[in-house]
A and B are shown apart, each in its own frame.
Chain A
Amino acid sequence: MSKVINTESKDGLIIIYTDGYLNKDLGEEIQKIAYEHIENGELNFLLDLKQSNIVNSIGASILIEIIEKLQDVNGNLYLCNLAPIIEKTFNIMGLTKYCKTFKSQSEAIEELS
């Protein structure tokens, strides 16, 4: 089953690690975690999708909701380790216009920290 497998704070980023199908359930789990951190004033998130190789439009639309919420509070969502099929879906859904993507977590941390 798909789930968030870990969340950690690193170099000013909240890194959320996922596993499996980025669908409604996983999207909402990510959203819940992100909103809790936003409440605590943490505004920069890196979503590591290394272990997710499938997404649907519902999952993508939930990420758009998170981005909207972050835009209201001047926060950012970044993405890394996207499988080609996920990257393509995000591009079509317009998601990657509003959040920067990185090939790897290390590349993201190097640029963002």
Chain B
Amino acid sequence: MDGIDIATLRELFILPFLTGLVLAVLLPLLGCYLRLRGEWLAALGFSHIAAAGSVLGLPLGLPTTLTATVATTLAALANALIARMGNSQFALMLVLGWAGALFLAANTNQGEVISEGLLRGQLYFSTAGHLVGALITLAGFLLSLHWLNRRLLIQRFFPDYYAANGRTNWHHELLFVVLLVPAVVLGTLAIGALPAFALFFVPAWVAFGLVRSWKHGLWLSAIIGASVYLLAFFIALLMNQPFGPLLALLLALTSVLRLVGPIKGQNSY
């Protein structure tokens, strides 16, 4: 770091660092609920739609955050309308988003650079808007956690509870989407589609293999996400390595922790 003073470092890296840190807590927590709902591929499908939507902003002359949010919201609405459990629709979104992003990129000025950044990660180009968006989404999630947690768990274990009692479930479904969409968009724009997916998927998967209670699962997911993020950020900075792939790699390595977890029955996957 010769020749770079602390003030410069702070100016260059404090904003990306904080943005990534907030997302490293938020995304694993939402990942727990995606696993609860059996929708663990949703983050990857939505993140590729967000990437395609972001690149679409270039020829339209619109802010990429806006077009990414609109595209992801439309995908989330389509998913809610078909109301089908499972991951097939998210696999289709992944394919469409990936192809769309690369096609748009190939036919747009600056598109290739942008799309590569989105797919691989570009944390150091995070903006203050990304940080504010991430903080608002995290605050919204934490404030609604108690209310949302009970309803999502009841829906998983007693699927017709709401219909049987003449209650609609769209309140918590909508809230979950309202939290998920900005998390996916910000994760994709700030960290990259695949590293963001790794934050949604791996910490929850590892934590669920290690702990025995739901509350501990949430805590451990957030801790794994934040710890691995800190490690990846500083290794990438000090050793001049690409952040996104390094984060994904380190997260993947945490999967060995599952080997020391409690023995699971036939229900593991």
- Answer yes or no: do A and B interact: no
Interface residues of A (CB under 8 A from B): none
